[in-house]
Amino acid sequence: MTAIFPGRFPLERVLGEELGAIFSAIHLGNGVELLAGEQVAAFEGTERLEAVTTASGVRVPCDFAVAGVGIEPVIPAVAGQPVAQDNGILVDELCRASAADVYAAGDVANILHPLFGRVRVEHYNNAEKQGAAAARSMLGSTAPYDYLYSFWSDQYDHKLEYVGHVTKWDEFVVRGSLPDRKLVGFYLVNGVVRAAVGLDRGGDPELDTGSEMAAAARLVAGQAQPSPGQLADEQVDLWSLAKEA
């Protein structure tokens, strides 16, 4: 198997360099060839796929390819008043679009989230929950859609859990061990915990209600500002920090 991607490490854009390097080692250890810093330029073959060629001219013989290239929202035509758009349909915290009686949810909705600001999220969990939130708004609810985004990924026998949302951060604080590949990590922006990640540690932030990742979710929800030293210190209970938030 060969993976072709533009960055230095798999998942680096979402998780950062430290975890990206770990997943790079995990894939290499499972026999995957990594072509980092590359882009697919062409697919070769007539009756079936025979090879993939990269922008630098590397040819990878294959008979099967999976393309993970992201999406561009497809906005259907709406009768009457135009609907404001920018990287999807712009909606407020109640999932309401700019046109009267128009609501949007899921991958196509660029929502004004009360915690994360203007954001469009393509996670399965978000699509599942935001549709219900839009329905509640249609029925008269005034509760904002404040779901703490989360996603998970199984990579071979390794489990990844993530809660919150951040695209850029000032500091990544590790509780646990990067070399042992067992940790809970915190993404800080101006000292505020904006997201957290668990690698083979911490539990599911939504299902394991007493877990470290559930405590991390509470920190994100409370826009907590514990010191990096407290976050990294195994002797400091995360739930005590969450309660302070």
pLDDT digits 0-9 by tens, 8-49: 999 999 999 999 999 999 999 999 999 999 999 999 999 999
List the chain domain ranges: 2-61, 89-138, 150-244
Residues 6+ positions from 114 with CB-CB distance below 8 Å: 93, 144, 146
DSSP string across 120-145: ----HHHHHHHHHHHHHHHTT-----
Q: What's the CATH number for 150-244?
A: 3.30.390.30
Which tokens go with 185?
């990590």
Fold match between domain 2-61 and domain 150-244: no
Question: Could you tell me the pTM of the whole model?
Answer: 0.91
Signed CA dihedral, 34, 49, 68, 127: sign only: negative
Instruction: State residue 80's pLDDT score.
Output: 74
Once rounded to an integer, what is the mean pLDDT over residues 178-206?
97
Question: In 45-145, at which residue ranges do the beta strands (DSSP E only) sit?
Answer: 51-54, 59-61, 89-91, 109-113, 117-119
Spatial CA neighbour of 109 closest among 81, 75, 149: 75
At 103, the pLDDT band (50, 70, 90 cuts) reads very high
Instruction: State residue 129's pLDDT score.
Output: 95
Q: What is the 3-state secondary structure (H, E, C) of 207-229?
A: CCCCCHHHHHHHHHHCCCCCCHH
Residue 95 buriedness (CB in 10 A; 0-12 / 13-18 / 19+): buried
pLDDT digits 0-9 by tens, 209-226: 999 999 999 999 999 999
DSSP string across 145-169: -----EEEEEETTEEEEEEE--S--
Q: Could you tell me the fold of the domain covering 2-61? A: FAD/NAD(P)-binding domain (3.50.50)
pLDDT digits 0-9 by tens, 45-60: 999 999 999 999 999 9
Put residue 59 in one of left, alpha, beta given phi > 0 → left and psi -120 to 50 → alpha. Answer: beta
Spatial CA neighbour of 193 closest among 237, 223, 154: 223
Which tokens go with 112?
């004004």
